[in-house]
Amino acid sequence: MQAIGPLTGTGESNPLGWTVYTGDLVAHDPQTQLSRAFTEYSETAVFGSFKQYITGPVFAALGNHDSNPEAINTPHSFPGRLGEQQSWNFEHVAGLWQNHGWITPEAAAQARTHYGAYSIKHPLGLRILTFNTDFWYRSNFLNYVNTTNPDNSGVFSWLIQELQAAEDLGERVWILGHVLSGWDGSNPLPNPTDLFYQIVDRFSPHVIAGIFFGHTHEVLFFC
């Protein structure tokens, strides 16, 4: 989805336009046909194509297929190397996004730390905030460890901190994710989803201007 800034006097779109991408660029093949190398290759190729053919920055959220194994993302709260199992992927995409000039080094550092999620302010004033929705996705079986904590990954705490900072600065925010929070109830776990709805309730509509999800191969926009 491409968002275009105000039109110039020449009738051309403002070069400060941008694109949002809600994830799932890796092939939806059986796990026997997938690998870490294929995931990294797919991310490099697709984001490289975006850079070549799309004007302006692309702000991307990771989909459930944008990992290996598919849908598996590990909370950092897991001990030792268990909590770092997917760090290779966050390092990879953060480097691509920064090298393409779409995000700052500071946002890339956030993406490495927060499961591919980051917060960045566009020059036109809107803040783009992405987060990794695999941490409420039913198919991420690691979410079933310590289910008494709806934020075992800490990603929702980070989301709150970023929204509070935006509120303090009088900013408006778009939130980008992949796995949708509701619809038919078959995708998200109830406790993290309920926490997300409480966050949205707290910061809407004065901070959160829009929420974009993918996953169902439909355009889903909430405001």
For the chain, the 3-state helix, strand and coil shares in percent, each to the nearest 5, are: 40, 15, 50
Q: Is the pLDDT of residue 7 over 60?
A: no
Q: What tens digit of pLDDT does each residue of 147-194 get?
A: 999 999 999 999 999 999 999 999 999 999 999 987 666 799 999 999
The pTM score is 0.89
Tell me the one-letter amino acid at 150: P
| Element (DSSP H or E) covering residue 173 | strand 173-176
- CA-nearest of 71, 83, 91, 77 to 138 is 71
Q: Which domains does the chain have, with CATH numbers?
A: 2-222 (3.60.21)
pLDDT given for residue 4 in this prediction = 41
- Average pLDDT score over residue span 65-77: 93
pLDDT over threshold 90, residue 8: no
User: Tens digits of per-residue pLDDT, 81-104?
Assistant: 889 999 999 999 999 999 999 999
Residues 6+ apart with CB under 8 A from 210: 174, 175, 221, 222, 223
| Phi-psi region at 185: left, alpha or beta (left = phi > 0; alpha = psi -120 to 50) | left
Kindly report the average pLDDT of the chain as a whole number.
89
pLDDT of residue 124: 86
Give the C-alpha separation, 167 to 190, whole Å. 27
Give residue-wise pLDDT tens across range 201-215.
Answer: 999 999 999 999 998
C-alpha 220: how far from chain center: 15
Predicted local distance difference test score (pLDDT) of residue 223: 53
DSSP of 111-164: HHHTTT--EEE-TTSPEEEE--GGGTBTT-GGGGTTTT-TTTTSHHHHHHHHHH
Say which DSSP state 47 is in.
H
pLDDT of 16 strictly over 70: no
